[in-house]
Amino acid sequence: MSRGMCYLKLEKYKEALSDLDKLLELGPNLALLTLRGEINRILEKYNEALTDFNQALEKEPNDAFALIHRGKTYLKLKKYNEALTDFNNLLKIESYDVPRQLLFFQYEEIYQSVDPLMLRGETYQKLEKYNEATIDFSKVLKKEPKNVHALKSRGEIYLKLKKYNEALMDFNNLSKIEYNARSHGWKANAIYESMDTLMLRGETYQKLEKYNEASIDFSKALKKEPGNALALRSRGETYIKLEKYNEALTDFNKLSELEPNNYLALRLRGETYLELEKYNKALTDFNKLLELEPNNYLALRLRGKTYHKLERYNEALTDLNKLLKIEKYNEALMDFNNLLKIEPDDAPSLRLRGETYQKLKKYNEALTDFNKSLELEPNNYHALKLRGETYQKLEKYNEALADFNKVLEKEPNNAPALKSRGETYLKLKKYNEALKDLNKLLELDPNNYLTGINLAKVRKEQ
C-alpha cells in the first residue's frame, strides 16, 4: 500500500485508485473499500463511491467512516433525505472502532475531521428544516465557539428567518475570528474579513436599516473584488436609501458595464436618474428593461411616473392601463398559489395558473404547470393545446407540433389547434402541411382574416 500512500500524498487520485482496485481484487477489505469510495467521491464518481460505501455498510452497518462519507456523497447527489438518514445513524453510534481510527489516521489528507452534527445541520438546511439546522449548528458552537462554518451557516439561517439581530451577532463573531486569524503579519490597511462575511453582514445591516454600516461592509467587499456585481448592486441600493444618488449612479453605471442586460441594474439606475430629475435618461433605462421584460410591473409603474414628469400624459396613461391588467393577473396568480398550497395536485388549478403565467409572458413557469397538469390528466386536450402554444412561444416547434397533433387526432375540427399547427408548420418550413391545415381552417371559418394572411405567406414561400 506504500505506493498508493505516495499517490495520495501527491493528490494523484487516479493512480491511487488503480492501486486500490488491484488490492481489492485480492480480497475484500473494509478499510480499503471505504478509502476507495472516498477517492471516487473526490473524483466526482459519485455512483461508484456509493457502490463502495454500500458494500462496506453491508459488511459493517455501524461503520462510522462509511456512514459519514456515504452521507457526504448523498449530499453531492442532492439526495438529502438519504444523507439525513446516514447522519442520524452516525450520531447514534457512541464509540468508533479504535484500530480503524488508527488506520485512517494515516490517510488524514483524505479523512479530515468532520463533525457529523455540522453535516446534519447542512442537510437540514438543504431540506429547508431551518429550526432543526439551527439546533445542530448551536450544538457545534457550544463545543467549538470559533467554528467559522457553523457561525456562517447559523447566521445565514437567522437571516432567512428574519432574525436579523441574531444573524448580526453571528456575523460579528465571524468577523472577529477572521480578523484575529489573519491580522498577524498582514500589511497595514488590509481587510481581514472574508468576502462572504462582509456581504452577509452588509445584507443584515440593510435589513436592520443600518445603511451607513451596510455601505461600509459593501465598500470593503468592493476593495477586495472591485468588479463584484452583487456588491456593486447592494452598495448602490444602500446609497439610494442614504439619498446619495450620485454615488449610487456611479455603482449602477459600473454594474451596467459589467452586465448590460441586468434587469435589476437597469431598474435601479432608472430610479436613480428619476431621483436626480434626469428623466430622459431614466426613460431610456425603463424602455430597455421593458423590451427585455414587457410585463415588469415595477418598471411600468416607474416609466409611467417618468412620462408624467415629462408631461407625456398619453404614454403615462397607456402604461397605467397595462399596469391594471397585470395587477389583475397578479391577483389571480396569488389566488391560484394559495389554492395549490392546499391542493398541489389539483389539475384544473394548475392549468389555470399556467394560463395566467401565459398572460404574464412567463412561459417557462406556464410550461411547468401544464406539464404537471398533463401528468395528472394526460388526455386533457385543452391543456395539450395550451402547452403547445407555450412551446410555440419558447420556439420549441417540434414539441408544439406533437401536442397539436394529439389534440387534432381527437378533435379534427378544432379550429384554434388547426391554426396553431398551421403556424407551427410554417415556422418549420413544412409548407405543404401548413397549407392543408390553413385550407381546412378556411373551410371551417371562411371569413378568418388571419388565416388568409398565413395562406398568402405559404403560397409566397412555395
Torsion, CA 217, CA 223, CA 227, CA 231, rounded to 10 = 0
Has residue 438 been placed in a domain? Answer: yes
The predicted structure's pLDDT at residue 10: 58
How many domains is the chain built from? 4
Amino acid at 18: S
Please give the Cα distance from 139 to 173 (Å, whole number). Answer: 16
- Do 392 and 448 share a domain, yes or no? no
- Do 106 and 17 share a domain, yes or no? yes
- Do 428 and 385 share a domain, yes or no? no
Last residue within a domain, chosen from 287, 316, 341: 341
Has residue 455 been placed in a domain? Answer: yes
- Do 59 and 96 share a domain, yes or no? yes
pLDDT tens digit sequence for 192-218: 678 999 999 999 999 999 999 999 999
- Do 314 and 421 share a domain, yes or no? no
Has residue 435 been placed in a domain? Answer: yes
User: What is the enclosing helix (H) or strand (E) of 95?
Assistant: none
The predicted structure's pLDDT at residue 218: 97
The pLDDT tens digits along the chain (462 residues) read 456 565 556 566 666 666 655 666 666 666 677 777 777 788 888 888 788 888 888 888 888 888 888 899 899 888 999 999 999 998 888 544 433 343 343 444 444 446 789 999 999 999 999 999 999 999 999 999 989 999 999 999 999 999 999 999 999 999 998 877 765 554 444 446 789 999 999 999 999 999 999 999 999 999 999 999 999 999 999 999 999 999 999 999 999 999 988 889 999 999 999 999 999 999 999 999 999 888 888 898 899 999 988 999 899 888 888 888 888 888 888 888 888 888 888 888 899 899 888 888 889 999 999 999 999 988 888 899 999 999 999 999 999 999 999 999 988 888 888 888 988 988 888 888 888 888 888 787 766 545 444 544 545 555
First-to-last CA distance in the chain? 73
- The grid coordinates of residue 441 equal 381552417
Closest CA to 156 of 134, 141, 183, 138: 134
Q: Domain range for residue 353?
A: 343-410
Closest CA to 288 of 306, 308, 270, 314: 270
Has residue 217 been placed in a domain? Answer: no
- Do 421 and 370 share a domain, yes or no? no
Has residue 219 been placed in a domain? Answer: no
Has residue 249 been placed in a domain? Answer: no
- Do 319 and 401 share a domain, yes or no? no
Has residue 158 been placed in a domain? Answer: no
The predicted structure's pLDDT at residue 2: 57
Last residue within a domain, chosen from 114, 143, 162: 114
- Do 3 and 88 share a domain, yes or no? yes
CATH number of the domain encompassing residue 374: 1.25.40.10
CA of 177: how far to CAs of 81, 167, 215, 416, in Å? 33, 16, 22, 66
Which residues have a Cβ under 8 Å from the Cβ of 196 and sit 6 or more positions away? 152
Cβ neighbourhood burial of 5 (10 Å; 0-12, 13-18, 19+): middle
The predicted structure's pLDDT at residue 295: 83
- Do 3 and 87 share a domain, yes or no? yes
- Do 96 and 5 share a domain, yes or no? yes
* Helical H segments across 10-79, by residue range: 13-25, 30-42, 46-59, 64-76
- The grid coordinates of residue 371 equal 406539464
- Do 285 and 391 share a domain, yes or no? no
- Do 109 and 57 share a domain, yes or no? yes
The model's pTM is 0.66
Closest CA to 90 of 63, 53, 113: 63
Last residue within a domain, chosen from 341, 363, 381: 341
Has residue 237 been placed in a domain? Answer: no
